[in-house]
């Protein structure tokens, strides 16, 4: 507790539960295990609609008709081309990020695309021009990611196909093959569920930058910087690493007890908002079980036993699987390499980021919160400067 203007004010760490802005895009109700995009359940959208339909909903406020969806898909396809100057630059970016940091490569590439396009500050653009920027940035993101991945692997990048939608097209570009219907459906469910999730760190970062009137690519770049932190975006591959380290079901107890006794975390379990089972995890478990196989059976066994152990070792805490646990399993089943797990999340979340950027830009008010000073009392007399000994 701190005092300001003779009023006692609590400043929670991490700004937990602090309302920073109003939004019409969606909400997360953690105690209910529910979240939504505008007026629809996000999980229902992920199960029953396409990625582009959810995108249209966030961008324009309504689900599209069949004709509107066809026009929107054509608009996305027309916006995904990479400027020739950027194509020439991408091999150098891939070399600079050859350690597998695709997000760093994407940040550089999106900046280059914005420069080549002559992007203008949001402050100077009309509402329609901002929407065009949003579609352009989100449409080109998966193409850039897949091309950088191929170049880093020493492969010739595949070319986008006009007959494939956003998700199937991305899978084709990353894996080099046309996905099966089951693969496309499963990845579409994951990516649709990942479009937006309240004022998480990357979304808030994007809104702060957008509030300054900066160009849209800069705001997305800030979001990508936040996403690169392991506490925000790195868990899907780490959750699979956990399965690899455990190895077999009979080693689960020993591994969990040792990890927790050493102060470690069991990746893929627990969430900052949900106090019930993460609804995204429940949905993705069903898609994983649809594939079947030893990997899925093992993941289900580990999930059940880890939750039992967490209830025993950390009583009173609700630690269920979060989206990352089965997201890693589903992406692996679809042929996506682990180095591309978080970039795949980014290829989905960029749609949510850009929707939030548009909403913030329309507000027109710069985000400028206050801080709480907790250092030595001020003012103190400035000490006299001591002359150096000569």
Domains belonging to the chain, first-starting first, are: 26-229+336-363 (1.10.580.10), 235-333 (1.10.230.10)
Alpha helices in 162-251 (DSSP H): 166-175, 181-193, 201-211, 216-227, 230-233, 235-246
Confidence of residue 235 (pLDDT cuts 50, 70, 90): low
Q: Mean of the pLDDT values across residues 296-313?
A: 86
What pLDDT does 62 receive?
Answer: 98
Confidence of residue 50 (pLDDT cuts 50, 70, 90): very high
Q: Mean of the pLDDT values across residues 224-233?
A: 85
Q: Does pLDDT of 262 surpass 90?
A: no
The residues, ordered by sequence, that sit 6+ positions from 30 with a Cβ below 8 Å of its Cβ are 271, 273, 274, 275, 276
Q: Mean of the pLDDT values across residues 87-99?
A: 90
Of 269-273, 305-309, 317-321, least confident by mean pLDDT is 269-273
User: Taking the chain, what is the end-to-end CA distance rounded to the nearest angstrom?
Assistant: 49
Q: Does pLDDT of 202 surpass 90?
A: yes
Distance between CA 194 and CA 348 in Å, rounded? Answer: 6
Q: Does pLDDT of 117 surpass 80?
A: yes
Name the phi and psi angles at 221, rounded to 5: -60, -40
Burial class (CB in 10 A: 0-12, 13-18, 19+), 143: buried
Distance between CA 54 and CA 144 in Å, rounded? Answer: 22
Burial class (CB in 10 A: 0-12, 13-18, 19+), 183: buried
What pLDDT does 8 receive?
Answer: 44
pLDDT tens for each residue of 128-183: 999 999 999 999 999 999 999 999 998 999 999 999 999 999 999 999 999 999 99
Question: What sign results for the dihedral spanned by CA atoms 171, 173, 179, 181?
Answer: positive
- Active-site positions read 271, 324
Q: Mean of the pLDDT values across residues 223-229?
A: 92
What pLDDT does 13 receive?
Answer: 80
Of 54-68, 333-347, 353-367, 374-388, least confident by mean pLDDT is 374-388
What pLDDT does 233 receive?
Answer: 66
Alpha helices in 292-340 (DSSP H): 294-313, 323-333
pLDDT over 70, % of the chain: 93
Q: Does pLDDT of 324 surpass 90?
A: no
Give the number of other Cβ atoms within 10 Å of residue 14's Cβ.
Answer: 8
Q: Does pLDDT of 55 surpass 60?
A: yes
Confidence of residue 121 (pLDDT cuts 50, 70, 90): very high
Q: Mean of the pLDDT values across residues 331-356?
A: 95
Q: What does pTM read for this prediction?
A: 0.90
Average of per-residue pLDDT values in the chain: 90
pLDDT higher for 294 or 270? 294
pLDDT tens for each residue of 2-49: 444 444 467 788 777 788 889 999 999 877 888 999 999 999 999 999
pLDDT higher for 226 or 309? 226
């Amino acid at each position: 507790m701190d005092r300001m203007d003779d009023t006692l004010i609590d400043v929670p760490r991490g700004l937990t539960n602090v309302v920073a802005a109003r939004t019409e895009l969606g909400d997360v109700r953690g105690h209910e295990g529910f979240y939504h995009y505008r007026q629809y359940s996000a999980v229902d959208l992920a199960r029953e609609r396409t990625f582009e339909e959810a995108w249209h909903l966030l961008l324009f406020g309504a689900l599209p008709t069949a004709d509107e969806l066809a026009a929107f898909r054509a608009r996305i396809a027309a916006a995904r081309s990479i400027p020739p100057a950027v194509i020439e630059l991408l091999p150098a970016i891939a070399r600079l990020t050859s350690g597998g940091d695709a997000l760093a490569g994407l940040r550089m590439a999106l900046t280059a695309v914005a420069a080549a396009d002559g992007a203008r500050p949001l402050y100077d653009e009309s509402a329609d021009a901002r929407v065009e920027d949003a579609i352009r940035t989100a449409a080109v993101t998966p193409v850039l990611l897949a091309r950088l991945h191929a170049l880093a692997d020493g492969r010739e990048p595949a070319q986008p196909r006009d007959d494939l939608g956003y998700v199937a097209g991305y899978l084709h570009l990353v894996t080099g093959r046309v996905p099966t219907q089951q693969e496309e459906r499963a990845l579409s469910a994951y990516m649709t569920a990942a479009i937006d999730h309240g004022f998480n760190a990357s979304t808030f970062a994007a809104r702060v930058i957008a509030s300054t009137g900066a160009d849209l690519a800069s705001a997305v770049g800030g979001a990508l910087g936040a996403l690169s932190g392991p506490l925000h975006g790195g868990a899907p591959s780490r959750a699979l690493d956990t399965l690899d380290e455990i190895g077999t079901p009979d080693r689960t107890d020993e591994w969990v007890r040792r990890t927790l006794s050493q102060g470690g975390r069991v990746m893929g379990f627990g969430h900052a908002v949900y106090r019930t089972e993460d609804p995204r995890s429940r949905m993705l478990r069903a898609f994983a079980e649809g594939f079947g196989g030893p990997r899925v059976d093992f993941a289900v066994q580990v999930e059940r036993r880890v939750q039992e152990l967490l209830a025993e070792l950390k009583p009173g805490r609700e630690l269920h699987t979060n989206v990352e646990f089965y997201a890693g399993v589903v992406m692996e089943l679809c042929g996506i390499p682990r180095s591309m797990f978080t970039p795949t999340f980014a290829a989905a979340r960029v749609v949510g980021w850009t929707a939030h950027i548009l909403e913030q830009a329309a507000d027109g008010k710069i985000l400028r919160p206050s801080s709480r000073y907790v250092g030595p009392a001020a003012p103190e007399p400035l000490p006299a400067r001591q002359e150096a000994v000569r």
